[in-house]
Chain A
Amino acid sequence: MGIELLVNLSYVAAAVLFIFGLKMLGSPATARKGNLVSALGMFIAVVITLLDQSIIDYKWILAGVVAGGAIGALVARRVEMTGMPEMVALFNGFGGIASLFVGWAALYGMDANTFQLITIVLSILIGGVTFSGSMIAWGKLSERIAGKPMVFGGQRIFNILLIVAIIAASAMFTLNPATPIYLYVVIGLALLLGIMLVIPIGGADMPVVISLLNSYSGLAACAAGLAINNIILIVAGALVGASGIILTQIMCKAMNRSLSNVLFSGFSAVSATGAAAKIEGEAKAMTAEDAYYVLEAAASVVIVPGYGMAVAQAQHVVKELQELLEKNGAEVVYAIHPVAGRMPGHMNVLLAEADVSYDLLLEMDAVNPRMETFDVAIVIGANDVVNPAAREMEGSPIYGMPVINVDMARNVFVMKRSMASGFAGIDNPLFFKENTRMLFGDAKEMLGNIIKAFN
């Protein structure tokens, strides 16, 4: 009794630390300390669990911790900031598979009653979906598999059948827990479901998917906690589950789409509604030197980064240009769209890496009202998030999505590899506007050329 009480009281302390840690993550000034507070909570929870009397043998625990710790530390240290989305996806997947195994192993430790069997199935299901879904997301983000949405005829029917089969297999398992075959079927189907849920989702929708998988990994831990009757798993899992759902909601709102629309239909399904008006005009290209002359005279500049900046690893040159412009007396701010990049806050991390002060990173709603006052808007590798069609072209697939209104700035420079349309495959009337100039080429190289002109 004594030890059990101590363990549970320590879990309460760990939960308090998690909550404070998350709260402190709410402000850039306290965030780093908050992360440490949360890590301390984790440390207490783990160490105190080792006192549990049911643990007889420590050698396998030690082996697992040493192996996992070494891999985790190595990856965390090595990963490039541009590779952050795939790494988060990967870690999500590991958390998911761990919960699956915890649920599975719980079968052998006790005479499970029906409630526990249901929670075991839940942790296996959610853990499995999280794992395979995260692996696909990781593949798509790291471009090991094609980022395009994969859709085939009868996909929806197949998925419905799959879910029915999962429910049936889960029920069979709950009724016959001694027959392992049902368990294996449940695991296999859960893994298949995770794959099926993520393959139809395109790269530009990845912020939503990562947030959602993040939520699932928490819910999987939560279900595993219910299965083994461990309160800290339930509390921490639920906190993460809730946080992932909120991020998912924010991302969906930023794209003006519902979650089900993101999950079950690519952009193609939406674009069937009405023919978009033909875009008239010609895109006007310009050289880096011309860009320099305009920038040299500009008093205020807004930079709008997108995924292209991450691909070109251009964040450091962007910062260099910012410094030159500031030295020249211009005001420089950044406008960040909530879904720019491949995960929530992707651009902010990249610019932080390049040492850009975070109070210069403005949210869309803060920049749009004063867009007219900017002399130059520089769009770096962004496309759909600055597409004025979202505002002016009813019938465009992205009509209604909130965008950064760069076209209202006095001059717009768009850095882009080619005239190819963005991820969503939608033409961008911005490129044909009177005040828009195109800088074709690699963003990093182009920025470098402008900087050279300054010196």
Chain B
Amino acid sequence: MEIVFLAFILMLSIFLGFELINKVPATLHTPLMSGSNAISGITLVGALTSAGAEHTVLATVLGTIAVAMATINVIGGYMVTDRMLAMFKKKGGAK
């Protein structure tokens, strides 16, 4: 039953993703990509449990590397997206 439950969540999320992204204008494709890239760093959440659970040495090592890599992805992704979006201005706007 749990598998079915997870499959449902998966399916609905994919459809939602399609709906959300379809409307994004071409101008914002790069920030969209780096922003969604940062979201894919969510794997950090999984890495945290692996790094801290002390199952085996190998699992801790793998978890720690995963935490570092995913954090690069998350912090770098959000920061660079913000930097980019700060540059998108309309004529007559601030500055």
Q: What residues of chain A have their CB less than 8 Å away from a CB belonging to chain B?
A: 18-19, 21-23, 25-29, 31-32, 34-36, 38-39, 42, 45-46, 49-50, 52, 54-58, 60-61, 63-65, 67-69, 71-73, 75-77, 79, 81, 84, 87-88, 91-92, 94-95, 97-99, 101-102, 104-109, 115, 210-211, 214, 217-218, 220-222, 224-226, 228-247, 250, 336, 338, 343-346, 348-349, 352-353, 355, 357-361, 363
Contacts and interface: CB of A to CB of B under 8 A. Distances in A.
B17 A243 contact: yes
A245 B13 CA distance: 13
Given A226-B6, A236-B39, A91 B20 contact: no
A61 B67 contact: yes
A289 to B, nearest CB: 30
A35 B35 contact: yes
Nearest to B9: A234
A54 B53 contact: yes
Interface string B76-92: 11111111111111111
B56 to A, nearest CB: 5
A233 B63 CA distance: 16
Interface majority SS (helix, strand, loop, mixed), chain A? helix
Contacts of A55: 48-49, 52-53
A64 B66 CA distance: 8
A243 B73 contact: no
A344 B43 contact: no
B30 A349 contact: yes
Nearest to A7: B45
Given A71-B76, A76-B80, A87-B80, A214 B33 contact: yes
A214 B20 contact: no
Interface residues of B, number: 84
Interface string B49-67: 1111111101110111111
A260 to B, nearest CB: 20
Which label, helix, strand, loop or mixed, suits the secondary structure of the B interface? helix
A94 B67 CA distance: 10
A94 B25 CA distance: 27
Contacts of B17: 22, 238-243, 246
Nearest to A52: B49
B76 to A, nearest CB: 3
Given A75-B76, A239-B20, A109 B36 contact: no
Contact of A242 (B14, B26, B42, B44): B14
Contact of A35 (B18, B29, B31, B58): B31
Nearest to A107: B59
24 contacts: A49-B45, A50-B48, A60-B52, A61-B52, A64-B64, A68-B69, A94-B72, A98-B66, A101-B66, A101-B69, A108-B58, A109-B49, A109-B50, A234-B9, A236-B40, A238-B9, A238-B17, A241-B14, A247-B29, A344-B26, A348-B28, A355-B89, A358-B89, A358-B90
A16 B10 CA distance: 15
Contacts of B58: 105, 108
Nearest to B23: A26
A84 B39 contact: no
A18 B39 contact: yes
Nearest to B46: A102
B21 A91 contact: no
Given A72-B74, A76-B75, A238-B13, A84 B30 contact: yes
A109 B7 CA distance: 23
A68 B37 contact: no
B70 to A, nearest CB: 4
Closest 4 A/B residue pairs (Cβ)? A242-B17, A68-B71, A64-B67, A345-B29
A27 B22 CA distance: 12
Nearest to A357: B91
Contact of A42 (B2, B20, B78): B78
Nearest to B41: A95
B68 A67 contact: yes
A35 B95 CA distance: 21
B76 A91 contact: yes
Given A98-B70, A99-B43, A344-B26, A38 B31 contact: no
B45 to A, nearest CB: 5
A243 B79 CA distance: 20
Contact of B88 (A31, A50, A238, A363): A31
B30 to A, nearest CB: 4
Contact of A36 (B14, B73, B82): B82
Given A25-B24, A101-B63, A221-B42, 8 more contacts: A27-B28, A84-B84, A87-B34, A102-B43, A214-B40, A238-B9, A238-B13, A349-B30
